[in-house]
Amino acid sequence: MTTRMNFLRAMVLLVTLGMISTLTYAQVESSAATFPASVSWDQSPKALLVSYRDIWGEFANQDPTPLIRVFGDGRVLVHYPVYTPRAGEYELWLQTTELEDLLLSLMAKGVATFEPLAAKRSKQLEELSLQEAVLDAGETPELFMVADDSTSVFELHLQDYQVVGAATTSGEVNRTISWLGLGTDARRYPQLASIQQLRNAELEIKALLERDDLWKVR
Amino acid sequence: MRRSWTGAGSARIVTVTLCLLVTLTNSIGVKAGAFVFAGENLSVDIITHPSNYTGLGGEVTVSVCIDPASANAAAMVIPVKNIVSVFNGFVPRSPNLIFGANNDIPGGQFDFQSLAMHEFGHCLSLAHPNQGVKTGVSGADTNATQSTDGVDNSYNFNAGVDTVDGSNDDVRGDDVNLHYFITGVNNPFLLPAKADATNYTRDLANIPFGHTYPANAARAVGPLVGVTNTETVMQQGQGIDEDQRGLQSDDIATLMFGGTGLDETVGGGDDYTVKLVYAGLTSSCDIVAKADLEPSFASCAFGGIYLTPDLTHAAITSGIFRYNPDAVTWYFNPILACDDIVLDYAHDATIAHTACGEITTTAGFEVGVGGDVTLTGASVTLGPGTIISGMLSIQIP
C-alpha cells in the first residue's frame, strides 16, 4: 500500500510539474475588479449589452437563441424555446439605474476580465491539490467527473468601462465567454475566485427570470 | 422469454425458455467506444470499470434506485426497470432510433427512458464516442470521434471527402484518439465476437488501409456503411420525440472490453460480468436517479478510484443521475418491458416474458442439469435479475 501511495504521489507531482510548465504564458488567476467604477453603453433599443444561454449537453438540436438578452434601453428579453414548459417570449424593463447596477456588478465579478485558459489551469492545479491532500491523509485519491454538464455562454458589449484606481479594464468591452460545468466547478472548487465570480454573475443574470415584472409577450 | 405448459388436471408441466439475450449477465471487457476519466487531465489509457469491481473476476452487481423525494419518482419506476432489463439483456438493436409517429412519445416531449439509458451508461463507465459539447467544440464538430486536442491544444476537425464528421475518413491532425475500434475493421456498427486487447485498440496504426481515423457510431455515419436509424446510446445528443431505448453494438463492445478486467484479455481470472439490480425507491444504491433543479437539463456525476498502480484502470465508486423536471416536458414510458414473472395456474399459455429481476421461488425449486430449472412447487416467481440459460420446467402437482 505504501508503494502504491508513493507511486500515486509521484504521478501527481509529475503531472503537476507538467502543468506548471505550461503556465509560463498564462496567469493562474486574474483578480476581480473593485469599486468605484463607471460604465457606459449604447442606449439604443437594438444595442445588445448582455446575453446569456446555457447549452444542455445531452440535448440535440437546441434552439440557439439566448435565454436572456439585455438591451441598451433597459429592455430584458427572455426566450424559452418551444420544447420547454414556459415556451414563449417574456419581457421586463430595467430602470437606467438598475441597468447600470447590473452592468457594474457583472464587471465587478470579472466577466470582462475572466481568462478561460488561466481558470482552466487553476482548476487543474486545484484538483491536484485536492488529490495531494487526500494522499497526505493516507488515503487513495478519488476521481470525479460530471458527464453531460451544461455550458454557460455569456456575451458582453459595452462602450466603456473604467475602474478608479485600477487598470484592470478600460475602454470598450466586446467578448464572449463559454464555460462547461460552471455550477459544478463552483461547488467543487470554492477557493477559485474567478470561477466563483463567474458563477455569481450567472446567478445574478438568471435572477432576472424570477422577477415578478417579467411578463409574457407572445 | 418464451414459456409454455402442457398437461391438465392435477399434474401440469410448465416449460419456460428464457431468452439468453434477455437474461445474460453483462460481460464487460473490450476496447470499443470510450471510457470516462480517460483524457489529457489524467491519462488517455484509463479503462474504467463499474462500481463494485475490484479486480476480481465474476459477477459484479450494480444497484440502481430512485430517490423517493424526487419529483416524478413513481413515474420513473417503469423506465428505470426497463433500463435495468435492457442492460442485463445485453443485446444490440438496429435500428435503435424510432422517431415521430413510429414511437409512443407524444409530439414535443422528451423521452425520459432514452435519456436515463445514456446517463446510466456514464455511471457504468462509458464515455461519449463522439466529442459532444465541449469548450471550443460546437455544431457539426460535436459528432467528430472522441479525442484529446493534442499537443497543439487545438482540435483539428476535418470531415474528409464524405463530409460526415465522425466517419473513417476524418483528418484529425495531432488529436489523440480515445475511441476503441476493431483492429483492421473500424466499423462500430459491427459487434465483435470478443473484444480484448488482441483485437480492440485505440492505436491508429491498426486502422484499415484507406481509413484515416476511427469512426464512431453516429446516426449520420451509419448510412455510409449501410446502417440506418442506428446510433450508439452513448453518443451525446438526443432529440425531442426520439426513442432510443435499445443498446447498439458499440455500447456493448465497450462494456465487453471493460469486462476483460485488468489484464484486458478474455479468459483471465479477472474477467467479470455486470448485472444491474433495481433497488427500488431509496437513495442508498450504487447509481441514484433523481430529479433535481440543479442541472439545467441532465447529467451524471460520479466518483472513481484507481485500481492499478500504473493508473490505467479505475472503477466507479458512486454515481448520481440528475435530470431537471422543469427543463422540458418529459415522457415517462408507462409500459413495463420486463416483468416480475409469477408462474402459477394462470400461466396456461405460451407467453413471452422479459424478466426484470431475481428469481424467487417457493419450496421445491430445483436447478436442473445445464442450467435448466425445474420446479415442483405450487408456484415460482421470477423477479429482478432473472438469469436462466436453459429451460425452466415447472411441475405443478
The band of A8, judged by pLDDT with boundaries at 50, 70 and 90, is low
pLDDT value at B22 more than 50: no
Return the pLDDT at A32.
Answer: 46
Nearest CA in chain B to A6: B309
Mutation to test the B interface, candidates A4, A84, A148, most B Cβ within 10 Å = A148
Strand partners, A120: none
Comparing alpha-carbon positions, the chain A residue that sits nearest to B126 is A147
Q: Please give the average per-residue pLDDT across B192-216, as a whole number.
A: 97
Query: Is the pLDDT assigned to residue B379 strictly greater than 70?
Result: no
Burial class (CB in 10 A: 0-12, 13-18, 19+), B92: buried
Q: Who among A54, A143, A180 is closest to B303 (CB)?
A: A143
User: Cα-flanking dihedrals φ and ψ of residue B87, to 5°?
Assistant: -65, -40
φ, ψ dihedrals at A183, nearest 5°: -65, -40
- Give the pLDDT score at A169: 55
Report pLDDT for B18: 29
Position B388 confidence tier, pLDDT thresholds 50, 70, 90? low
- CA distances, A117 to each of A95, A124, A180, B6, B301 (Å): 36, 11, 13, 71, 24
Using the structure block, give the residue that is written with the C-alpha cell 458499440. Answer: B250
Asked if residue B130 lies in contact with residue B159, where contact means CB atoms within 8 angstroms, the answer is: no
Instruction: State the pTM of this model.
Output: 0.83
> For B296-343, how does the pLDDT look when each residue is reduced to its tens digit (9 = 90+)?
999 999 999 999 999 899 999 999 999 999 999 999 999 988 765 555
Say if the Cβ atoms of A145 and B314 lie within 8 Å: no
Cell of residue A174, nine digits: 466586446
Q: Could you tell me which residues are beta bridge partners of residue A22?
A: none
Chain B partners of A149 at a C-beta cutoff of 8 Å? 295, 299
Q: Which of A60, A142, A150 is facing B296, going by the closest CB pair?
A: A150
Banded pLDDT at B234 (limits 50, 70, 90): very high
ipTM of the complex: 0.83
Mean pLDDT of A36-40: 85
Q: Give the minimum alpha-carbon distance from B126 to chain A in angstroms, rounded to a whole number.
A: 10
| DSSP H/E element including B3 | strand B2-8
Cross-chain residue pair B317–A142, CB shorter than 8 Å: yes
Chain A interface with B: residues with Cβ < 8 Å? 3-4, 7-8, 11, 54-61, 82-85, 116, 124, 127, 140-151, 178-180, 183-184
B303 contact A CB<8A: yes
Total count of residues recorded for chain B: 397
pLDDT, one tens digit per residue, over B348-369 is: 444 455 666 555 555 555 555 5
DSSP string, A97-161: HHHHHHHHHHHHTTTTT--HHHHHHHHHHHHHHHHHHHHHTTSPPEEEEEET--EEEEEEEEEEE
pLDDT for res A26:
34
Cα of first residue to Cα of last residue in chain B, in angstroms, is: 23
Output the CA–CA distances (angstroms, integers) from residue B12 to A215, B299, B364, B365, in the order listed.
69, 50, 15, 15
The yes-or-no verdict on residue B45 having pLDDT over 90 is: yes
Q: Taking Cα atoms as reference points, which of B29, B35, B220 lies closest to residue B126?
A: B35
